[in-house]
Amino acid sequence: MVSKTSEQAHSTQSRLENIATPKLKFKEKLSYGLGDLGNGMMFDMGQIYLLKFFTDILGISAFYGGLVFLVSKIFDAFVDTGVGTYIDSRTNIGKRGKFRPFILYGTVPLAICTVLSFISPHLDQTGKVIWAFATYMLFNAAYSCVNIPYGSLSASMTVNSEDRTQLSVYRNLGSQAALFVAGIVVIPLVNQFPNHAIGYPVAVAILAVVGVILHLICYKNVKERHVIQRPKQKGLGKKAFLSVLNNGAFAILAIYTLLTIMAMFLKQSSQLYYFQYVMDAPNLVGLVSTLNFIVLIPALFLTTLLSKSVGKKMTAIIGIGGFVICEFLNFIYFGGHLTTFLIVNTISSFFLVIPNTVTWAFIADVVEYGQWKSGIRSEGITYSSYSFTRKISQALAGFIPGVALTMIGYQPNVAQSAETLTGLKILFFGVPGVGCLIALLIFLFGYPLTDKRHKQIVKELALREEI
């Protein structure tokens, strides 16, 4: 009996040491980041260009274009939950793993749906609106089938805090690289075609093919290490979902995300209008994307240093605070002059990289927090519920510009009134700045998981032999 107890104690100690030691190799971390680069090759097309494609190429009103985003993203939020529930309910997990097969088999259908959303058929106005709804909803459903497993994957790759921060760094590197490529490549490719109705689907198709290749690299080179296969038990899925609802850390993270992601995507959706009509520089998106990418590596490096010295929570707060200050400075002083706008906007983007990077480590930490409280580990449901929040944010970010453009009197391809130009300035700087300020205060005072607290929770789970 003594020998058995000693053996159990040694096993537990070995498990704790294994958890405490970072183990992910550069190749695996890079491959995981390339997965989000692949996501962005398809997803960013819609977030940056689709509203303008709807209004200027397909020929539907800004209101209906915004409504497409609102309805499609809300629909997709429920699809996310369904996909996450299905992933967690799987009982026959094969050699390909719990999450990786969805990336393998979902990438080509996603690429096809991406291109379909940028095709402009010859239909009447009603037909065009129906087409926009149908293709974008189909795209979002296909994206969920790839992105939910991809996002859930990190919690199964490692439970080490340092490894998770590094995965978040590489993921955000991939995400920002996708924004950079989309920002500098799409418009020049589209302009190669006299008919932009042909140029858009061709440009999008090229990037979608690249996205498929990157997804396959991610699938091949990452490994699932901490996967729990649920037993067949009636009502377990409901218990897992309820455990997420009772997860206080998740609730605060969801509210924080709702506000910050809405702000980020709101800027992406409105930037083309602001550059064209306020700055009188319709091709400015390429330069802005280049400057944002230049500051990416320094921002990621600073994120790593800050997270080691002050923890992930304070790192996120520092980043959001810097972003808010820069947005207000551009709104009040610098946003109307090209040089000063570019300087302050680039600094703003530098700060925004920081919270966007550590966010992915937060959701992985919340998985263990929920498991510690309820005894149920639910990567898929937790991540899909988090993604639900992100999709609602994206829905609002797509809908608000459409409604706002209508309210401020926007008319496509004509000179705008002074009131419309002021409205574009509020939409591009003011609304994101206020939203992120509220998010900062909520997260600072409400989020309970510091790195120290998370390490203690992981230790307790290891002692309970649950990881």
Q: Report DSSP letters for 282-346, one per residue.
A: TTHHHHHHHHHHHTHHHHHHHHHHHHHHHHHHHHHHHHHHHHHHHHHHIIIIITTSHHHHHHHHH
d(CA 426, CA 410): 14
d(CA 463, CA 155): 19
Q: Which helix (H) or strand (E) holds 412?
A: none
Measure the CA angle with vertex 423, ends 421 and 424; round to 5°: 65
Which residue type, as a one-letter code, is found at position 288?
Answer: V
pLDDT of amino acid 143: 94
pLDDT of amino acid 351: 95
Mapped onto helix, strand or coil, the DSSP state of residue 5 is helix
- Find tokens 């309910």 and name the residue: 89
Mean pLDDT of 193-220: 94
Higher pLDDT, 150 or 87: 150
Residue 17 maps to a domain: no
Which residues are CB-contacts of 111 (< 8 A; sequence separation ≥ 6)? 42, 205, 208, 209, 211, 212
Closest CA to 29 of 147, 164, 152: 164
Residue 15 maps to a domain: no
Q: Token pair for residue 3?
A: 């020998």
The secondary structure of residue 247, as a DSSP letter, is -
**Domain span at 125:** 24-224+236-463
Q: Token pair for residue 294?
A: 């230049």
d(CA 218, CA 110): 16
Residue 8 maps to a domain: no
Strands (E), 332-460: none
Number of other CB atoms surrounding residue 11 within 10 Å? 11
pLDDT of amino acid 230: 56
pLDDT digits (tens, 9 = 90+) for 24-67: 899 999 999 999 999 999 988 887 788 889 988 998 988 898 88
Which residue type, as a one-letter code, is found at position 253?
Answer: L
pLDDT of amino acid 12: 55
pLDDT of amino acid 316: 93
Which residues are CB-contacts of 404 (< 8 A; sequence separation ≥ 6)? 270, 423, 427
pLDDT of amino acid 416: 87
Closest CA to 307 of 157, 452, 462, 459: 452
What CATH number does the domain containing 49 carry?
A: 1.20.1250.20
- Please tell me the total count of domains within the chain: 1
**pLDDT for residue 1 is more than 60:** no
pLDDT of amino acid 76: 85
Residue 5 maps to a domain: no
Mean pLDDT of 185-196: 90
d(CA 113, CA 205): 10
Mean pLDDT of 394-414: 79
Higher pLDDT, 7 or 352: 352
Most confident segment among 110-119, 156-165, 405-414: 110-119
**pLDDT for residue 420 is more than 60:** yes
Most confident segment among 256-265, 309-318, 393-402: 309-318
Mean pLDDT of 139-144: 94
The secondary structure of residue 193, as a DSSP letter, is S
Which residue type, as a one-letter code, is found at position 399?
Answer: F
pLDDT of amino acid 442: 95
CA 12 to chain centre: 36
Q: Token pair for residue 28?
A: 């695996």
Which residues are CB-contacts of 305 (< 8 A; sequence separation ≥ 6)? none
Most confident segment among 69-73, 326-330, 412-416: 326-330
**Is the CB of residue 341 less than 8 Å from the CB of residue 330?**
yes
**pLDDT for residue 15 is more than 60:** no
pLDDT of amino acid 465: 64
d(CA 420, CA 405): 8
Counting Cβ atoms within 10 Å, is residue 30 exposed (0-12), middle (13-18) or buried (19+)?
A: middle
**pLDDT for residue 182 is more than 50:** yes
Most confident segment among 17-21, 315-319, 356-360: 315-319
pLDDT digits (tens, 9 = 90+) for 226-258: 766 655 555 555 666 666 767 888 889 989 988
Residue 19 maps to a domain: no
Residue 215 maps to a domain: yes
pLDDT digits (tens, 9 = 90+) for 271-283: 888 999 999 888 8
d(CA 227, CA 151): 14
Most confident segment among 168-172, 354-358, 438-442: 438-442
Residue 104 maps to a domain: yes
Counting Cβ atoms within 10 Å, is residue 91 exposed (0-12), middle (13-18) or buried (19+)?
A: exposed
The secondary structure of residue 246, as a DSSP letter, is T
Q: Phi/psi at 417 (nearest 5 deg)?
A: -75, 165
CA 158 to chain centre: 20
d(CA 63, CA 218): 38
Phi-psi region of 362 (alpha: psi -120 to 50; beta: other; left: phi over 0): alpha
d(CA 161, CA 27): 18
**Is the CB of residue 208 less than 8 Å from the CB of residue 182?**
no
Q: Token pair for residue 60?
A: 């539907």
Residue 391 maps to a domain: yes
Higher pLDDT, 23 or 336: 336
The secondary structure of residue 280, as a DSSP letter, is S
d(CA 374, CA 111): 38
pLDDT of amino acid 226: 73
**pLDDT for residue 179 is more than 70:** yes
pLDDT of amino acid 17: 58
Q: At what angle do helices 196-221 and 26-45 cross, to 10 degrees?
A: 160
pLDDT of amino acid 399: 76
> HSE on the CB side for 146, CA within 13 Å?
30
**pLDDT for residue 114 is more than 60:** yes
Single pTM value for the model:
0.70
**pLDDT for residue 2 is more than 50:** no
Q: Token pair for residue 288?
A: 């802005």
